[in-house]
Amino acid sequence: MHPLLDQFEGVCDRFPTKPATRDTALELTYAGLNAVARGIGQRIATETERPHVGLLFPPSGTCAAAIFGCWYGAKTPVPLNFLLAPAELKKIIDDAAIDLVLTVAPFREAVQTIGVTALVLDVELLQAHDGCTIPSANATELATLVYTSGTSGTPKGVCLSFDNLVQNVNACIEMAEIQTEARFLSLLPQFHTFGFTTNTLVPLLLGATVYYLPRFATTTVVNLIAEQKIDTFITIASMFGALAGAKSVRREQLESLQLAVSGGEPLPTQVADAFQQRFGVTIYEGYGMTEASPVVSLNTRRALRLGSVGHPLPGVSVVAVDEEGRELPAGRDGELVVRGHCVMQGYRNQPELTARTICDGALFTGDVGHVDADGFVFITGRAKDMMIVGGENVFPIEIEMVLLDHPAVAEVAVIGTPDKLRGEMPVAFVLLRTDVVADESELRSFCRSRLAGYKVPRRVTIADKLPRGPTGKILKRALTVPE
């Protein structure tokens, strides 16, 4: 018995000739995806004895096949962020004890630079052929290890079990009332649990069809929705905002959309209103986090409250608590605490952090909000200092530590500033060392050489002084971004 692959096998038996995944290079039916995944599983089982295998892919059907291939090969897939610099990737690969990374040709060199084996899934490997049988597993076994940035700048490996994934997937399908006829469009990276779960596992454990695009381009997205009659689009608010603001998009081009879900970053009311007015499509906002597999709550056709992130999924509960951990009454803001099947097993190699985050089975999210009298969850704040840039978590301290490595930088403070396209963007304020010269361009270039592109500050302001409190601590709330 296998808690996840048994469900996938059932789907493949029901819909063998139905398209499962499509992207710009590959189309697989369910029978084809099953055969390819088994073949990958057979190959990787001979390539490494280690339990974890890295995956470095753009959004694609190939990545979906690699994910399932790892499970058929009795390995744990570790999705890797292709936007990270080699040094950042190496931290994750070392922590996960990986010696094999499945990838595509454009990323081969990056993997080899890190010093591990790159297995490129080329045409030969993706051809259907005899593969491995279904391994046995239990529900509590590690299904995937997903890394997310930490407040210290050190990646945190979130351990999710098969039970975490399967129950989260089935609860999403039930609550959103998604049918097997659904046609998904996915632009979300599969290294992120939002894309991993909602745009890969949900459609493929249901029997739906998912179209993958490696990057967002308004014309391409709109044409694909119109041509393929896409009805399910689960993505971040920034993408909905770009579509709503594109003057060239006509209402009839999006008329097939039936389910539009926003998550990963706050959904501005202006974006939801504009999308509804232009295209007649309601965006249903949800809430989640990697540590919760990731979906916690969701607005639906049956239960919608604008400004909220909906009701918790079946089998999940959310309460707001005070600083002593006591549950607060309806409408009172506090830290949101999650219980249920979605709560992670813990952080890899970080028992103390796990103990601070999970208490008696409850996940302390670090997010501030409340639950109203009707059970709708509202988010009113986020974990201190964290920014969400295009759906990705970015912590200022990681950028600050890089800038402090520059020989000209004495002190630095990084904050987030609103951005129409990306949600937020980091901005840095720098004090230079005496008699040392550096300008904004040099400092941004320095960051670019050490950080993923989305983490590079949009502005670097050379300041004469930084605002401080009584203890000398920099007061970030007093920093203002120059016009």
pLDDT of 64 > 80? The answer is yes
pLDDT surpassing 50 at residue 471: no
Q: Cα–Cα distances in Å, from 360 out to 297, 325, 337?
A: 21, 12, 11
**What value does the CA radius of gyration of the chain take, rounded to a whole number of Å?**
22
How many C-beta neighbours within 10 Å does residue 407 have? Answer: 8
Q: What is the mean pLDDT of residues 397-403?
A: 87
Query: Which of 335, 385, 382, 381 minimizes the C-alpha distance to 362?
Result: 335
Element (H, E) at 338: strand 334-340
Return the amino acid letter for 95: D
**What pLDDT does residue 128 have?**
59
Q: Which of 200, 201, 195 is nearest to 167 (CA)?
A: 201
Q: Give the pLDDT band (50/70/90) at residue 264.
A: confident
Q: What's the burial of 130, exposed, middle or buried (CB within 10 Å: 0-12/13-18/19+)?
A: exposed
pLDDT at 383: 60
pLDDT of residue 468: 74
> Is the distance from CB of 89 to CB of 114 less than 8 angstroms?
yes
Share of the chain above pLDDT 90, in %: 76
Element housing 46 (H / E)? helix 30-47
Ranges of each domain in the chain: 5-371, 387-478
* Burial degree of 471 (CB within 10 A; 0-12, 13-18, 19+): exposed
- Which whole number is the average pLDDT over 209-218? 95
pLDDT at 470: 44
298-325 pLDDT, tens digit each: 999 999 999 999 999 999 999 999 988 9
Average pLDDT over residues 59-82: 96
Q: Quick one: average pLDDT of 392-397?
A: 82
Nearest to 289 by CA among 263, 314, 268, 267: 263
Among the listed residues 338, 333, 355, the one whose alpha carbon sits nearest the alpha carbon of residue 346: 355
pLDDT for residue 8: 98
Spatial strand order in the sheet of 156-161: 142-148, 156-161, 346-347
Whether 406 has a pLDDT exceeding 50, the answer reads yes
In this prediction, residue 404 has a pLDDT band, given cuts at 50, 70 and 90, of confident
Region 44-48: mean pLDDT is: 93
Q: Which residue has the higher pLDDT, 160 or 478?
A: 160
Among candidate residues 348, 300, 298, the one with its CA nearest the CA of residue 91: 348
3-class DSSP assignment, residue 295: strand
98 contacts 54 by C-beta, under 8 angstroms:
yes
pTM: 0.84
Q: Which residues pair with 452 in a beta bridge?
A: none
Q: Is residue 167 over pLDDT 50?
A: yes
Residues 265-298: tens digit of each pLDDT: 788 888 899 999 999 999 999 999 999 999 999 9
pLDDT at position 126: 80
Q: Is the pLDDT of residue 153 over 60?
A: no
387-478 has CATH 3.50.50.60 classification: no
pLDDT value of position 388: 86
CATH superfamily of 5-371: ANL, N-terminal domain (3.40.50.12780)
Tokens of 470: 């009584």
C-beta separation of 267 from 283 below 8 A? yes
CA distance 184 to 200: 9
CA neighbours within 13 Å on the CB side: how many for 302? Answer: 5
Among 171-175, 207-211, 417-421, which stretch is predicted with the lowest mean pLDDT? 417-421
- What's the pLDDT score for residue 401? 85
Question: Looking at residue 165, what is its pLDDT?
Answer: 98
**Residues 6+ positions from 118 with CB-CB distance below 8 Å:** 101, 103, 107, 108, 111, 112
If you search the block for the tokens 């050490």, which residue do you land on? Answer: 450
Query: How does pLDDT run across 335-382, given as a tens digit for each residue?
Result: 999 999 999 999 999 999 999 999 999 999 989 899 999 999 999 876
At residue 388, the 3 state secondary structure works out as strand
Above 90 in pLDDT, residue 238?
no
